[in-house]
């Protein structure tokens, strides 16, 4: 689904943000990207999203070279206050990108309401974002991405602006829409929510535990300029849950390994 080869980016001021990154992500996979602050995680994501043209290298999504924002892509950023339109209702915020999908008004509204239900936000459709808590606003941003049913979902520190409890709830929400927990939005434990089957997700996070808890694979970048330091498959059983999964010896081993790699980023 996503192929990155020889990706390097140097900003106009000469700063080399990422260097020779090689990454291949299969359809349906959830890959976390971690690394020391400033190692180029967001730069990498912006290049994949077509928002930043890399200085060198190739990126393709579903076999098509990225040379602008790909059609089948959605992005969830950390700062929900800047990604939701305050003058649009929650439903209209979620429905807006669906115009690009060529859906008529009734279909857009129906899909927006279904996505809001998926993230546990029934009953908020007519409200404005500023009438909701921070965690609820980030759910709206996630609902908007899910309603679009992208083949590739990019998430840049999506849970970085909410409190610890909400963060855990949102991690579980992400797992539940993929069928990994029995949280809101799933018809049954282990069943992906409609439209999310096969969705590929790239998640940038600085939270080591989170990177392991939600992912199928963790990719650790070196310190600046970011290169791939190591890749660790996460073979934890599903459904995952915040208490049980984090207590598993396999989880503890993995988080230790990722933590070591992030703290000693130059010695693979
Ligand atoms: P991370 O997400 O890992 O914290 P970033 O991709 O945001 O890292 O940034 C990587 C490096 O590139 C940092 O040193 C940052 O200051 C620099 N950088 C980011 N954006 C720009 C820009 N527009 N111009 C110049 N340097 C930038």
| Beta-ladder partners of 59 | 4
Q: Which two tokens stand for residue 176?
A: 């539940």
Q: Give the C-alpha separation, 232 to 35, whole Å.
A: 13
Q: Give the C-alpha separation, 18 to 232, whole Å.
A: 20
What per-residue confidence (pLDDT) applies to 186?
41
Q: Give the C-alpha separation, 49 to 204, whole Å.
A: 13
Shortest-distance Cα residue to atom 13 of ligand 1: 38
Residue 35 CA: which ligand 1 atom is closest? 3
Pocket probe mutation, ligand 1, options 8, 9, 14, 15, max atoms within 8 Å of Cβ: 15
Pocket lining: 33 vs ligand 1, CB cutoff 6 Å:
no
Q: What distance in angstroms lies between residue 17's CA and the mean position of ligand 1's atoms?
A: 6
Q: What distance in angstroms lies between residue 144's CA and the mean position of ligand 1's atoms?
A: 27
What per-residue confidence (pLDDT) applies to 185?
42
Alpha helices in the chain (DSSP H): 41-48, 80-83, 90-95, 105-118, 134-148, 164-177, 208-214, 244-247, 249-263
Q: What distance in angstroms lies between residue 18's CA and the mean position of ligand 1's atoms?
A: 9
What per-residue confidence (pLDDT) applies to 191?
60
What per-residue confidence (pLDDT) applies to 184?
45
Could you say which DSSP state residue 163 is in?
A: -
Shortest-distance Cα residue to atom 17 of ligand 1: 17
Place of tokens 């003058």: 87
Q: What distance in angstroms lies between residue 118's CA and the mean position of ligand 1's atoms?
A: 34
Q: Give the C-alpha separation, 63 to 200, whole Å.
A: 14
Question: How far are the Cα atoms of 47, 56, 85, 105, 148 from residue 69, in angstroms, in the given order?
Answer: 9, 17, 20, 24, 14
pLDDT along the chain (268 residues), means of 10: 96 95 95 94 95 95 90 88 93 95 93 92 94 92 92 92 86 81 47 70 95 96 93 94 96 96 70
| Residues making up the chain, counted from first to last | 268
Q: What distance in angstroms lies between residue 214's CA and the mean position of ligand 1's atoms?
A: 25
What per-residue confidence (pLDDT) applies to 119?
87
Q: What distance in angstroms lies between residue 228's CA and the mean position of ligand 1's atoms?
A: 17
What per-residue confidence (pLDDT) applies to 187?
42
Pocket lining: 15 vs ligand 1, CB cutoff 6 Å:
yes
Residue 40 CA: which ligand 1 atom is closest? 6
Q: What distance in angstroms lies between residue 223's CA and the mean position of ligand 1's atoms?
A: 12
Pocket lining: 221 vs ligand 1, CB cutoff 6 Å:
no
Pocket probe mutation, ligand 1, options 17, 203, 229, max atoms within 8 Å of Cβ: 17
Q: pTM score > 0.85 for this model?
A: yes
Place of tokens 């908007």: 144
Pocket lining: 38 vs ligand 1, CB cutoff 6 Å:
yes
Pocket lining: 242 vs ligand 1, CB cutoff 6 Å:
no
Question: How far are the Cα atoms of 175, 203, 213, 247, 258 from residue 243, in angstroms, in the given order?
Answer: 14, 22, 11, 6, 20
Q: What backbone torsions phi and psi does residue 121 show, to the nearest 5 degrees?
A: -115, 35
Pocket lining: 39 vs ligand 1, CB cutoff 6 Å:
yes
Q: Taking the mean position of all CA atoms in its chain, how far away is CA 84? A: 17
């Amino acid at each position: 689904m996503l192929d990155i080869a020889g990706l390097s980016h140097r900003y106009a001021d000469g700063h080399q943000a990422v260097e020779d990154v090689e990454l291949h992500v299969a359809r349906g996979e959830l890959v976390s990207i971690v690394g020391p602050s400033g190692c180029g995680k967001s730069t990498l994501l912006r290049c994949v999203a077509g928002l930043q043209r890399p200085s060198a290298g190739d990126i393709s999504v579903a076999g098509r070279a990225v040379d602008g924002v790909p059609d089948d892509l959605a992005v969830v950023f950390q700062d929900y206050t800047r990604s939701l339109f305050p003058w649009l209702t929650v439903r209209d915020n979620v429905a807006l990108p669906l115009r690009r999908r060529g859906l008529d008004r009734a279909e857009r509204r129906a899909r927006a309401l279904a996505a809001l239900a998926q993230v546990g936000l029934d009953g908020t459709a007519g409200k404005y974002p500023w009438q909701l808590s921070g965690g609820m606003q980030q759910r709206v941003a996630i609902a908007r991405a899910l309603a679009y049913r992208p083949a590739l979902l990019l998430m840049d520190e999506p849970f970085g602006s909410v409190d610890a409890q909400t963060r855990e709830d949102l991690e579980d929400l992400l797992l539940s829409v993929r069928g990994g927990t029995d949280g809101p939005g799933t018809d049954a434990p282990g069943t992906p929510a409609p439209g999310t089957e096969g969705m590929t997700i790239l998640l940038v996070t600085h939270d080591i535990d989170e990177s392991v808890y939600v992912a199928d694979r963790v990719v650790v970048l070196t310190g600046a300029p970011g290169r791939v330091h190591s890749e660790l498959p996460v073979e934890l059983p599903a459904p995952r849950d915040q208490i049980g999964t984090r207590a598993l010896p396999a989880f503890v081993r993995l988080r230790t390994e990722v933590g070591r790699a992030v703290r000693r980023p130059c010695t693979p």
